[in-house]
Chain A
Amino acid sequence: MPEIVVEGISKTLGGLLTLGEINVNAADKDFVGILGPSGCGKSTLFNIISGLMRPDQGCVFIDGHDVTGKTGRVSYMRQKDLLLPSLNILENVSIPLVLKGLPRKKACDQALEHFKQFGLAGFEKYYPRQLSGGMRQRAAMLRTYLFSSDILLLDEPFASLDAITKRKMQSWLIDVFNQINPTVMFITHDVDEALYLCDRIYVLSECPTVVKLEIKIPFCRPSHGRTIVDPVYGVIRDAVMEALAI
């Protein structure tokens, strides 16, 4: 079962205690938000979960296996699309398959099957620099999905987009994820984005980062959009804002 359990992670970076005793988890098909002020160590947490960085203390379990400091199990998408300007969208997206050892042609064929679902049909031969920020993030999302389809770490994937594109991308994300049903951890510093997308939210404090609040979001994802007028929404939003000390 694709699930993430992070137990008692702490990390000191450059003499500064960045993460202090963090416990978070995401069950199968869970969409978990990690909400916190910028510079609070959210990305450090993801670097540790993805195995790029070793924690000073604590463990990361995925599917029940200890994967602390081991890369390769989860896919990790960042705010920057990190598409290679030298390759077209199709080639970019098939990179994880090529890295897994598939021949180039076969990797492209396999990636191509998902283009329609991810709203990229017709853009296969374009180079990243020819596309808008929103399209590039879609491509980056598909590349992330093709590396590991069941567990995705998304680190502020829409932070660099303008407000309208961002909103479009959020409902697009809900549509796509309702079809592929992955387990997701989603970093953001946008309260409404977290409330809109997530099933559950962890609110983190400033450095040294600890979990200040864990809160379940009672709306189910497909019927979102209008929840902002729901009185419960306001109550939850207030609680989150208070935890963030805004």
Chain B
Amino acid sequence: MKKYINTADRIVPVVFILILLVLWEYLVKLKSIPDWILPGPLQIVRTLAENAPLIARHAQSTLLECLAGFIVAIVFSFVVAFLMDEIALFKNAVYPLIVASQTIPIISVAPLFIIWFGYGMLPKIIVVVLVCFFPIAISLLGGLAAVDSDYLELFRSMQAKRLHVFRMVKLPLAMPAFFSGLRISAAYSVMGAVIGEWLGAKQGLGTYMTLSQRSFQVDRVFAAILAVTVLSAALFALVSFIERIVIPWNRFTEK
């Protein structure tokens, strides 16, 4: 019975999406909307298939920027969160700055990176880092701060060194929070890279999108959007997969 319900739960969203797609295709055909205004889903899939090698090449550089930016953001967040957690002065000095930095629209500073660092990959990676850093750092810091102080007292009563406490208690207990930040960032990272590419690049899905859009090849824009979606979902799934390996114990719920 349980199994049956589970399958039903999975089928419902798929059927719903299919209905929407059929409706979309039907309306486009019915109203004979031209392709350069709104192509139907079938046309988009056809375009994606025809341009697959080209889109794959663009997707490759986007993915590379994402991963590079993502990894840098993770390392950077770990260092900053560790320092903030251990040194109150550092936290007081830096925390407001980090929060304030989030009010700056990324789209307004991204062009500056192109002026400073050119049209290569670096400015895109920087945008990805900026987009990913905040959710990761804040969730990690939140996780570290939320550790039950009774754990810390227990370890203090056992004369544990600070490093031991950090490694054995704080870090593992902060991991679930860290991974929820990581999953949000994974989805954002592709968006960050695409924004970076919009403003000027030689390669990447963002470039492909702007070029297609300027020539009114709306089906290609949609094909690129589809590729971006798949890429984001794949990164999200990858993070969830890594989470299952790194913190297997988190699957057990409290009895």
Contact = CB atoms under 8 A, between A and B. Distances in A.
Interface of A: 47, 50-52, 71-72, 75-76, 78, 80, 82, 84-87, 95-96, 99, 127, 129-133, 147
Contact of A129 (B173, B175, B253): B253
B94 interface: no
B37 interface: no
A82 B172 contact: no
A99 B158 contact: yes
A72 B175 contact: no
B168 interface: yes
Contact of A86 (B156, B159, B172): B172
A87 B164 CA distance: 14
A96 B158 contact: yes
B249 A129 contact: yes
Interface in B137-185: 148, 150-151, 153-160, 164, 168-169, 172-173, 175
B255 interface: yes
Contact of A80 (B150, B164, B255): B150
Contact of A50 (B157, B160, B173): B157
A209 to B, nearest CB: 20
A132 B156 CA distance: 26
Contacts of B169: 84
B159 A127 contact: no
B237 interface: no
A84 B173 contact: yes
A133 B255 CA distance: 8
Contacts of B247: 86
B157 A71 contact: yes
B255 A130 contact: yes
A143 B172 CA distance: 19
A87 B169 CA distance: 10
Nearest to B247: A86
22 contacts: A50-B157, A52-B153, A71-B156, A72-B158, A72-B159, A75-B157, A76-B154, A84-B169, A84-B173, A85-B249, A86-B173, A86-B247, A86-B249, A99-B160, A99-B164, A127-B249, A129-B249, A129-B252, A129-B253, A129-B255, A130-B255, A132-B255
Nearest to B254: A129
Given A75-B158, A99-B159, 17 more contacts: A72-B157, A72-B158, A75-B157, A76-B157, A78-B150, A78-B154, A80-B148, A82-B148, A84-B168, A84-B169, A85-B173, A85-B252, A96-B158, A99-B160, A127-B249, A127-B252, A132-B255
Contacts of A76: 154, 157
A96 B164 CA distance: 11
Nearest to B176: A85
A32 B153 CA distance: 23
B150 to A, nearest CB: 6
Contacts of A95: 158, 168
Contacts of A47: 153
A52 B157 contact: yes
When A and B form their complex, which 4 residue pairs have the shortest distance between CB atoms, in order from nearest? A86-B172, A129-B252, A72-B159, A127-B249
Contacts of A80: 148, 150
B150 A86 contact: no
Contact of B175 (A78, A86, A130): A86
B159 to A, nearest CB: 4
B37 to A, nearest CB: 54
Contact of B159 (A71, A84, A129, A130): A71
B148 to A, nearest CB: 8
A95 B151 CA distance: 12
Contacts of B253: 129
A71 B153 CA distance: 10
A73 B213 CA distance: 73
Contacts of A84: 151, 168-169, 172-173
B168 A52 contact: no
Contacts of A99: 155, 158-160, 164
